[in-house]
Structure 1
């Protein structure tokens, strides 16, 4: 009587084939999801151009756009906005700046050529605060002027004065004080021109992650004299 035998290797082949198929499909799905994440990240992001936000942001940095919270802006947030003003003066172009003044705030700049002070009276308050941004002191540059006109811009050859940020508007400045075209030039930024909030850097990979924000308000118990303004 001949005893039949089975080939264990041959018997396992269909099962191995199915496992390999599952692994291959899983790898393909993961690859497609990764590619989708990359495409989405690049699509819903902005690349920094210019030097107006150095050293916080560098030329070529790419930041993810927070579109859902673009109208829930808080003080010192980084935002992408459309520059106000005529097209031939840069109006309508995307810019990346830091929000300093919120609606209802009173703002001024005491134009000390060595250490200018950005002053804030938060909406509904009479207390004066100084904006402490560690990026500003080494980047003040030349030509520091006082502020503000009723539109939130610098006072050419004039004295500093308080100006009130209108409702549904913001006052924005660059971290690179001496090389930034910001509200000192074009004034208030309307709420509807805020395109996105920025807080997460996706490129370069070496600096991937949340953008540091160490800007703060410091009480000024004995503020410098500033005219009443608007």
Structure 2
């Protein structure tokens, strides 16, 4: 009968294997986490009241990044975006979160407490109060968006600093996971459909 060769250091080999596997596992987990955060989704929290009553201070959200790789943003989407050049010049470097109101080519105007897109008044049940300012009319440039906070009179948004380029969009807010009593999907389908701006020949 052939005997089994004995390991001269029976404890060292399993211990070595354990640490090698641990390093491999951590490395793979790190790569996966980086990949998910970069390309799929990431967590964000709300530091201000500019999106009240839809989003409250200290709400924690998941921002998904896949949709905008497959199709264009839509009116009503609640989006996270990197600061525009105009905002960077004012020393803003953190991401913003607002709602898309104006699409490329739209004419947007705010007057008498009502937002008009292409001459059509929006019915906005989701805002905190009607805006007490006037804006426009302004045409949204190609590949850019006009974004407003739901807390219209306490939001630093497009009516002050301009439009958001498509390339600045990070992703779309889709679920709130904290606090638990407010956990759930974030509804962005509350904005009425708007007739596109007619093309004048």
TM-score (norm 1): 0.61
Look up the match of 1:186. 161
Look up the match of 2:79. 79
Q: CA deviation at 1:117?
A: 1.1
Give the 3-state SS of the residue equivalent to 2:187 in structure 1. Answer: coil
After superposition, give the CA deviation of every residue in 1:26-68 in whole Å (9 maximum; x if it has no partner): xxxxxxxxxx99xx79x81111110000010011111111111
Work out the CA distance in 1 between the residues paired with 2:91 and 2:148.
16
Distance 1:206-1:97 versus aligned 2 partners, 3 A rule: same
Tell me, which stretches of 5 or more residues in structure 1 are unaligned?
1-35, 122-127, 149-161, 220-230
After superposition, give the CA deviation of every residue in 1:114-161 in whole Å (9 maximum; x if it has no partner): xx110001xxxxxx311221233x5347xx33212xxxxxxxxxxxxx
Work out the CA distance in 1 between the residues paired with 2:43 and 2:122.
28
Give the 3-state SS of the residue equivalent to 1:79 in structure 2. Answer: strand
Look up the match of 1:139. 129
Matches within 5 A, 1:21-170: 44-70=42-68, 72-84=72-84, 85-87=86-88, 89-110=90-111, 112=112, 116-121=113-118, 128-136=119-127, 138-140=128-130, 144-148=132-136, 162-170=137-145
Work out the CA distance in 2 between the residues paired with 1:86 and 1:145.
21
Work out the CA distance in 1 between the residues paired with 2:153 and 2:100.
17
Q: CA deviation at 1:165?
A: 0.8
* Total equivalences in the alignment: 157
After superposition, give the CA deviation of every residue in 1:176-200 in whole Å (9 maximum; x if it has no partner): 0111000011110000111111121
Look up the match of 2:26. none
Larger radius of gyration: 1
Tell me, which stretches of 5 or more residues in structure 2 are unaligned?
1-31, 195-201
The answer to whether the 8 Å contact 1:101/1:170 transfers is yes
Work out the CA distance in 1 between the residues paired with 2:175 and 2:166.
21
